[in-house]
Amino acid sequence: MLCATSRLLAAGTATAPPAQPRGRGPGARCRRRELHFPGHPELPPGDFLLGRLARPSVPAGRRVTLRRGRMPPAVGGGPARSELRPRRGRAGIEAAGAVGPDVAAEPAARSPKRPARGSRCIEAAGRWTLLTLVTLLSFATRFHRLDEPRHICWDETHFGKMGSYYINRTFFFDVHPPLGKMLIGLAGYLSGYDGTFLFQKPGDKYEHHNYMGMRGFCAFLGSLLVPFAYLTVLELSKSFPAALLTAALLTFDTGCLTLSQYILLDPILMFFIMAAMLSMVKYNSCANRPFSAPWWFWLSLTGINLAGALGVKFVGLFIILQVGWNTISDLWHLFGDLSLSVVTVGKHLTARILCLIALPLTLYTATYAIHFMVLNKSGPGDGFFSSAFQARLSGNNLHNASIPEHLAYGSVITVKNLRMAIGYLHSHRHLYPEGIGARQQQVTTYLHKDYNNLWIIKKHNTNADPLDPSIPVEFVRHGDIVRLEHKETSRNLHSHYHEAPLTRKHYQVTGYGINGTGDSNDFWRIEVINRKFGNRIKVLRSRIRLIHLVTGCVLGSSGKVLPKWGWEQLEVTCTPYLKETLNSIWNVEDHINPKLPNISLDVLQPTFPEILLESHMVMIRGNNGLKPKDNEFTSKPWHWPINYQGLRFSGINDTDFRVYLLGNPVIWWLNLLSIALYLLLGSIIAVAVQRGTHLPAEVKGLSQVLLQGGGQLLLGWMLHYFPFFLMGRILYFHHYFPAMLFSSMLTGILWDTLLRLCAWSLASSFLARGVYMVGILSLLLGTAYSFYLFHPLAYGMVGPLAQDPGSPMAGLRWLESWDF
């Protein structure tokens, strides 16, 4: 790299060289060093190095406009965009007339001789053979020992269970969109899995249950990452060695291999991310044939894959941002092309709106329609959603139910917070621990249906039983003073001036009293939002607040998770701030009163847009609320690129079958080095180009590949990595792997370019070719050997831990933080 960079800088000058006779310019001096490096076999090396594979030919007699200082869009296969664009119209005709026949015929005279048909067939067969070999090797590594271990590993306990829920049509809640779990469930269903395995905890044996269909589906998608990356780099660089090096980095990475072999969302997410990237690069390469069938195909496929990425996890938004940036850059370039009419630019804009906005949104919405249609039975996710949402679930106590319409004294009720994913007002016999306010009965919110959610609403000034047949029905009205008695423990909802457990300046809420007898701190005024005093309170539809009569505070939930002494339920407080927020607004859901007539709840079922909006609000809140539990292993974003610490997938002791998620350190550290080198070399080249330095033809072509193709991959790495520094939720090592895909593709392009620059700087053609081939082979063999050393991490280990000097893995524990 140093020799090539010094030669590049030495050759530069701030002004262009003087005009010279044809055939005597700088290109003539460089032609003797044009080398046939392995690349695109159909063109001579000069054209290959200049990245002219996708550039349209310019007919003789047309003016060619060179726009100085204007870079092509950020994406594409080298300079596939038309920096050389034939200008049409009168100017072009006049230019053609002004050019003499000798000059007009010159491009034809310089054009390379086309290879024979038989030669082209052999070259095409060679390209397909190489792609086939890369694909087969990827599948072989991913499907090898796929059935081991025969027990649940890590997050298979979550996503395998959710696949079972789809097969059983049982509603559940998850913080991720539904597409990935639906596909896992579909794979299990098609492979004969009946959805009866419980997926309770890691280590549980699968026994006779058929889990291979779901693992095989994830391994299939994970295997496709390698050929996708190969084709993407080939399109960006037009270099087979660069593409082959990228394929080797991903094939021999133990981390990507491990993630691809289990029932997880990660291989599905990375599949759609890489498919979207490949489709985007492909439609960029069709820029000289807009509105052709291939152009429409790749543009539409990009939109489909964007919908898939976002439909698996919300981090699919990062690839959407990358495609969006590419699209804006592309449209800006087209808008500045004066040879295109406004109508044509409008067609380009409309096509991108249809394929990259309307189509993905339609498909994304359709996944939710299928999700809600399939999961129509009540399940563990009911409590995360509103009462109206639950009324549509078969088996839920609100489905096809009829309950009394208006709230009356003596009714047994459940009270649900209107903020998403807060749950029901709840109490149990456990007391607050010493030092946490008054040592009285805990009051929390709980997301699941439970008998401890039941309360009896009573008058504040009498202990008479309102259900006594001799006592007439009396309805609860807006402004009434009431007591809420916990049905299971007979303690009243209570508050006082003690501070809440977690939220400062809020008051503690407890259960107090014996058999409903307490004190004045048990009295609450019930208010209905936007209603007049005296109005009745409607079940499910009235939005109410409970104002503590003594302190004047409002009953609410902070949404904070209590420690283990609070069973990790959510904190309930009484806030002195009277502003209306969803945290302090409730509704009555269940309502039992034998003295009142019932009405049907069918009228409360929400529309599909309301369901879609509510589900997203619940997922976003659930994502933000993911916090590490006690003794739970987490990691920080700065750990990830340096491969600082892995993650146990299976096994802890030396007698266990152990699988450890850790990237191949040789590959990961090479990727990290490559990012640093790219920033250095890219900055040098960018400064040289900006200063008007004259670059030799070969260096100019390689620079364009490095800046444009490599720049797009660097952008992808940054978009898939740096946002995690801003996230407050719990993070894990596997979150880095989409970014790792981009860094591996960047490594392939960078080292191919560096080796070509070093070879170009050598005087001897034979020596240059030898240096290039030795460099590529060394990288390929080095990654393969490192995989040979570290493959037990992915395929499983049994025996002494690496800390034991007698362990076969002891010499491979290069960092103390690796605990395999």
pTM attached to this predicted model: 0.78
CB contact at 8 A, 507 and 521: no
Domain boundary among 583, 600, 617: 600
- The pLDDT tens digits for 76-96 are 333 333 333 333 333 333 333
Is residue 517 within a helix (H) or strand (E), and if so which, with residue range?
none
Looking at residue 354, its pLDDT comes to 95
Looking at residue 538, its pLDDT comes to 86
Looking at residue 242, its pLDDT comes to 93
In a domain, 641, yes or no: no
Q: Are strands 64-65 and 647-650 parallel, antiparallel or unpaired?
A: unpaired
Inter-CA distances, 593 with 435, 469, 493, 792, Å: 40, 12, 20, 64
> Among 452, 406, 449, 448, which Cα is nearest to 426's?
452
Looking at residue 727, its pLDDT comes to 83
Clarify whether residues 529 and 427 are in a common domain.
yes
In a domain, 18, yes or no: no
Indicate which CATH number applies to the domain containing 530. Answer: 2.80.10.50
Is residue 17 within a helix (H) or strand (E), and if so which, with residue range?
none
| C-alpha radius of gyration, the chain, whole number | 34
Looking at residue 536, its pLDDT comes to 86
Angle at 721 between CA 719 and CA 723, to 5 degrees: 70
Clarify whether residues 525 and 416 are in a common domain.
yes
In a domain, 478, yes or no: yes
Clarify whether residues 364 and 406 are in a common domain.
no
**Whats the size of the chain, residue-wise?**
820
Q: Which residue has the tokens 């900006």?
A: 690
Distance CA 207, CA 203 (A): 12
In a domain, 809, yes or no: no
CB contact at 8 A, 145 and 238: no
Q: DSSP string of 51-112?
A: T-TTPPPPPTT--EE--TT-PPPS-SSSS-S-SSEEPPSHHHHHHHHHS-HHHHHHHHHHSP
Range of the structural domain that residue 189 is part of: 129-369+661-795
Clarify whether residues 190 and 327 are in a common domain.
yes
Clarify whether residues 283 and 414 are in a common domain.
no
Clarify whether residues 341 and 444 are in a common domain.
no
In a domain, 622, yes or no: no
Clarify whether residues 344 and 418 are in a common domain.
no
Domain boundary among 561, 579, 600: 600
| Average pLDDT, consecutive stretches of 10 residues, N- to C-terminus, the chain (820 residues) | 46 40 38 40 34 36 37 35 33 34 36 59 84 94 91 89 93 91 94 90 89 94 96 92 94 94 94 96 91 94 96 94 94 90 93 95 95 91 81 83 87 88 89 91 91 92 76 88 93 94 93 87 90 77 91 92 90 88 87 86 78 87 66 77 87 78 92 93 86 82 87 93 86 91 94 88 80 91 92 85 77 81
Clarify whether residues 421 and 544 are in a common domain.
yes
In a domain, 298, yes or no: yes
CB contact at 8 A, 442 and 511: yes
Which phi and psi angles does 285 have, rounded to 5°?
A: -70, -15
Q: Which residue has the tokens 């280590």?
A: 203
Q: Which residue has the tokens 């609450």?
A: 524
Clarify whether residues 585 and 667 are in a common domain.
no
- The pLDDT tens digits for 364-374 are 999 999 999 99
Q: Which residue has the tokens 């007919």?
A: 59
> Among 269, 240, 241, 238, which Cα is nearest to 256's?
269
Looking at residue 55, its pLDDT comes to 36
CB contact at 8 A, 162 and 174: yes
DSSP-H helix ranges across 239-316: 240-251, 254-260, 266-285, 293-312
Clarify whether residues 230 and 149 are in a common domain.
yes
Q: Are strands 481-486 and 570-575 parallel, antiparallel or unpaired?
A: unpaired
Q: Are strands 85-86 and 544-548 parallel, antiparallel or unpaired?
A: unpaired
In a domain, 532, yes or no: yes
Looking at residue 37, its pLDDT comes to 42
In a domain, 80, yes or no: no
CB contact at 8 A, 303 and 324: no
Q: For the chain, how many structural domains are there in total?
A: 2
Instruction: Give the list of residues 6+ apart from residue 402 with CB closer than 8 angstroms, or none.
Output: 598, 599, 600, 601
Distance CA 177, CA 312 (A): 5
What is the tally of helices (H) and strands (E) in the chain? 25, 18
CB contact at 8 A, 794 and 258: yes
Structure tokens at 698: 């070969």
Distance CA 473, CA 475 (A): 7
Q: DSSP string of 662-683?
A: ---HHHHHHHHHHHHHHHHHHH
Clarify whether residues 546 and 418 are in a common domain.
yes
Sign of CA dihedral 696, 699, 703, 709: positive
Clarify whether residues 726 and 670 are in a common domain.
yes
